[in-house]
Amino acid sequence: MTRDQVRSEFGSGNLPNPAECEALYETLGPVPEAVRNHSRIVARVAVRLARLLAEAGCILDHGLIEAAARLHDVAKGRPDHAMEGSRLLAEKGYPRVALVVSVHTDLPDPVPDELTEAQVVYLADKMVAGVRVTSLEQRRRAARDRFPPSGEIRDRLETRWRHTFIIRDRVEAWLGQALDRLFPTGSDSPADTQP
């Protein structure tokens, strides 16, 4: 779904602020502290990406990006956590956030040409391992090492990484520089991920 289609279907939508996201961790969870911390760093990275993209002329909804990044793993540990988190958020009255959360693990194939809030959250999530910014290549290698060299799981993994690199290339084209230069590997503090 394009950004315009989402706005058409859901309107400007109700977006939870950071304090409300924190409260949702309890009401929809409880969400373990490690998952909360990961989500907070993903949100910092995603919001910084959105700000940098805005400076380059690519305007996205920063509030939607922040809320969806903070809540992307609200159902982590449950079966099909992306869809379960999406369902829970929709029930709470956050359909736009729910839509982004629903695709944070698997984007449509092929990836739509227009850079979207969902793509920014997807990319930011892939850039953060635990609470540390890491290179996409390191994350890809680690993921490949955990799964068999062939089969359905490996095929899905390869599709995810193909999508990740398509989005990375789009973002870098907008920004005119490599993400690795903007987000040094190992950074985890707000200062490291703020513009």
* CATH of residue 158: 1.10.3210
* For the chain, the helix, strand and coil percentages under 3-state DSSP, each to the nearest 5: 65, 0, 35
- What is the Cα Rg of the chain in Å? 16
d(CA 64, CA 68): 6
Q: Report the alpha-carbon distance of residue 122 to residue 159 in Å, rounded.
A: 13
CB neighbours of 20 closer than 8 A, spacing ≥ 6? none
**Total structural domains within the chain:** 1
Cβ contact 88:74 at 8 Å: yes
> What is the predicted pLDDT for the residue at 13?
63
List residues bridging with 132 in a β-sheet. 129
Hey, what are 137's tokens?
């290549």
Quick one: pLDDT at residue 155? 86
Residue 164's nearest CA partner among 105, 117, 114 is 105
Q: Would you state the pLDDT for residue 94? A: 97
CA dist 168 → 6, 162, 184 (Å)? 23, 10, 15
Q: Supply 153's token pair.
A: 């799981």
pTM for the structure as a whole: 0.88
Question: Tens of pLDDT along 66-121?
Answer: 999 999 999 999 999 999 999 999 999 999 999 999 999 999 888 889 999 999 99
Residue 98, both tokens: 């729910």
Q: What are the pLDDT tens digits along the chain (195 aa)?
A: 444 544 444 444 689 999 999 999 999 988 999 999 999 999 999 999 999 999 999 999 999 999 999 999 999 999 999 999 999 999 999 999 999 999 999 998 888 899 999 999 999 999 999 999 999 998 888 887 887 777 888 888 889 999 999 999 999 999 999 999 999 887 554 434 443
Look up the domain containing 108 and give its range: 3-193
pLDDT of residue 149: 72
Reading the block at residue 50, the tokens are 């959105």
